[in-house]
Amino acid sequence: MGRPGARAGVIADAALAPEVTMTSPGRLNGDRHADQLPMMAAIAESSGEPIRVSSIDRPEAGAGQVLVRIHASGVNPLDTKIYAGEAPHARHPLPAILGLDLAGVVDAVGSSVERFRPGDEVYGTTGDVGGHPGTLAQFAA
């Protein structure tokens, strides 16, 4: 982020890239629903091409999921293999939000979630396999 006192993460200024939306894992789409809020994410569109920071729809916490406001994420060796097109075992189609690892705060919980509450500090892994969006974004579910 670069501002004094700002938390670590991958948040970027919306002016850095044109706006796109992601309505399902790995697919970009121009349809924006009025009730979906935007977030910034790093999008790998194809192997070896520059990763672009774009404004996309914020995910929602589905049943059994939590929505995490990401404060820090990292690039894992699997990310670099997927990005280079050398990870057929991961089966992660591009375009996609890469990233496995995250630390942040629970922003919302889906139905049937009992262990976590909004405001809980969490860390873990998600994304990068099977088309599930990763952690190089402001939010992940």
The CA–CA distances, whole Å, from 141 to 12, 66, 84, 88, 116 equal 19, 6, 25, 24, 13
Q: Tell me, what's the pLDDT at 77?
A: 87
Q: 23-71 pLDDT, tens per residue?
A: 333 334 444 443 468 999 999 998 878 999 999 999 999 999 999 999 9
Q: Tell me, what's the pLDDT at 12?
A: 33
- What is the three-class DSSP state of 115? coil
Nearest CA among 83, 62, 85 for reference residue 136: 83
Q: Tell me, what's the pLDDT at 90?
A: 75
Most confident of 23-27, 83-87, 122-126: 122-126
Cis peptide before 95 (omega within 30 of 0): yes
Question: What's the whole-number mean pLDDT along residues 100-120?
Answer: 96
Going by DSSP bridges, is the β-strand pair 21-24/52-57 parallel, antiparallel, or unpaired? Answer: unpaired
Q: Tell me, what's the pLDDT at 70?
A: 98
Q: Tell me, what's the pLDDT at 93?
A: 81
